[in-house]
Structure 1
Amino acid sequence: MTREAPESGEEGKVGGIQVIARAAAIMRTLGEHPQGLSLAAIAQAVKLPRSTVQRIVCALEAEYLVEAMGPSGGFRLGVAVGQLVYQTQTDIISLVRPYLECLSNWLQESVSLSKQAGEKIQVIDRIVAERDLRVVFPIGVFAPMHSTSAGKVLLAGLDDAAVRDLLPDPLPQMTRNTRDLPALLAELAEIRETGFTFDHGECSEGISGGSVSLDTYLGRYAISVVLPTARAARRVEAIREALLACKRDIERAIGGTACRR
């Protein structure tokens, strides 16, 4: 009688853990690229053979965790990811959603609810504006904290030392408008005074947004208004006022559905 069976079992366990880790790496990569990626691009990002990536992506696709983008090719996160996020965050989402709907209707712009996920923010709910030129983004998407208004209002809750520990230096330049670390720290000092910030195409060209933080008994979140940069400049003050009013309403009576104007 040999001891090969226990060794095989252990090898299988290690192999299973490795597959899960690789699948998680693929999903994180797709979360960072909501526009989708080809199999070759995914393989390059996660540093795995294309054949390995294809097998894992096919398995994830079968569970609706990844979806094909159609004739153009490529893959993105699937609808099941949004469902999982919604289920795990259902309390805060159910409490805040009426306010998000009211905010979106008031401004006629897309709005989102985000939380910190490491050095990134994750969108856990959103309302897409009903108008011709609008910004559409999926639930579950990740974005860098340093180049988004949502990320910056959450970073402002930390001291400068904690921000330096959290973020890489130099900061990745997402667009030509992305701030470097000294400029970011200066902006965070302003946010701590005003409670509001706005980014003009710092994460994605042509997309801007304003945000406030939301402190609740369920944790700290960010509420954002996201809109095309083309009409952002003339709307900053209206967005600031609407966001701060929404923040006051939620923090004063979280769980209510009234939206006072």
Structure 2
Amino acid sequence: MSSDKDNAADEQRSGGIQVIARSSAIMRALGAQPQGLSLAAIAQATALPRSTVQRIIGALEAEGLVESLPGSGYRLGPALGQLIHHAHGDIISVARESLEQLGETLGETVVLSCIRGKQSNVVIRVISEQELRVVIPLGSSLPMHATAEGKVLLSTLSDDAIRDLLPATPEKLTANTLELPDLLAQMPGIRRDGVAVDIEEHTLGVSAISLLIPTFMGPHAVSVVAPTARFKPRLAEFRGALERFRLALEKQFES
């Protein structure tokens, strides 16, 4: 009798370990693809049966560790970020000093943004001290289709999810604002490089470059925003500074 109970307990422990291992494999696959994966893609990446993936995804979604995307697909959910937040601190406290240094070095406005609903939301901003400068209110929400940070954040979604998120005819803010087909045409390059540029697509006289920052709190974008007359000659400089900012921030996250 005792042996039977021991065997049953061993089988239960083994099954529990297997579920944890499979859940971890699924979450690692999703972590490697911040734009999200379909159930079929997750099954292929983890070599698990689709039915198993669907069952585990359902359990992870119920706990907020995974979230569904508009259309189809899944990505890591907010509860995972909350868990890591409690252990490692908030991204704002980690990124603020580096962002202030970036703004001081470049002498231009820099911002850190994330996705909130159907717009990008400014969570940290450092305003340029120059007489002619761009001022972005803290906490402001900006249209994703017409800003560099919005485009780089949209690149973490699939094309179908972008179509579901944006209107078929996005608001035309300037003559340079992209139509939806043109915006989608930019996505492969943005996904490849993690960089997006906005040349007066949102506001005449203002341009920006943004770099994708994958974090434990979800995708963020760091941007340099400047008057177009100063922006164009310094575009390569801005991009290099953003790359160095990302490397510095990654080291802070690892420490």
> What does residue 157 of structure 1 align with?
156
- Distance, in Å, in 2 between the alignment partners of 1:217 and 1:192 is 19
Deviation at 1:106, TM superposition (A): 1.5
- Root-mean-square deviation (CA, aligned residues, Å) is 1.4
SS at structure 1 position matched to 2:124: strand
Could you list the runs of 5+ residues in structure 2 that have no partner in the other structure? 1-88
Q: Using the alignment, how far apart are the partners of 1:227 and 1:92 within structure 2?
A: 24
Identity %: 43
Aligned equivalent of 1:102:
101
Amino acid at match of 1:130: E
Partner residue, 1:193: 192
1:134 correspondence with 2:157: no
**Contact 2:174-2:204 within 8 A present in 1 as well:** yes
Q: 1:178 aligns to what SS in structure 2?
A: coil
Aligned ranges for residues 1-261 of structure 1 at < 5 Å? Answer: 91-254=90-253
Aligned residues: 167
Other structure's SS at 2:149 match: helix
Partners of 1:232 and 1:176 in 2: CA distance: 18
Separation of aligned partners in 2, 1:114 and 1:150: 7
**Equivalents in 2 of 1:177, 1:141: separation in Å?**
22
User: How many Å apart are 1:252 and its aligned residue?
Assistant: 3.1
Residue of structure 2 in register with 1:71 after alignment: none
**SS of aligned partner of 2:90:** helix
SS at 1:240's partner residue?
helix
In structure 1, the gaps of 5 or more residues are: 1-89, 257-261
The structural deviation recorded for 1:255 is 7.6
**Change in 2 beyond 3 A, CA 1:203/1:158:** same
Cα distance in 2 for residues equivalent to 1:236 and 1:252: 25
After TM superposition, the score normalised by the length of structure 1 is: 0.62
Cα displacement string for residues 216-250 of structure 1 (whole angstroms, at most 9, x for unaligned residues): 11221111111111211111111111111111221
Distance in 2, matches of 1:153 and 1:252, equals 22
Check conservation: 1:208, 1:232, Cα contact below 8 A: yes
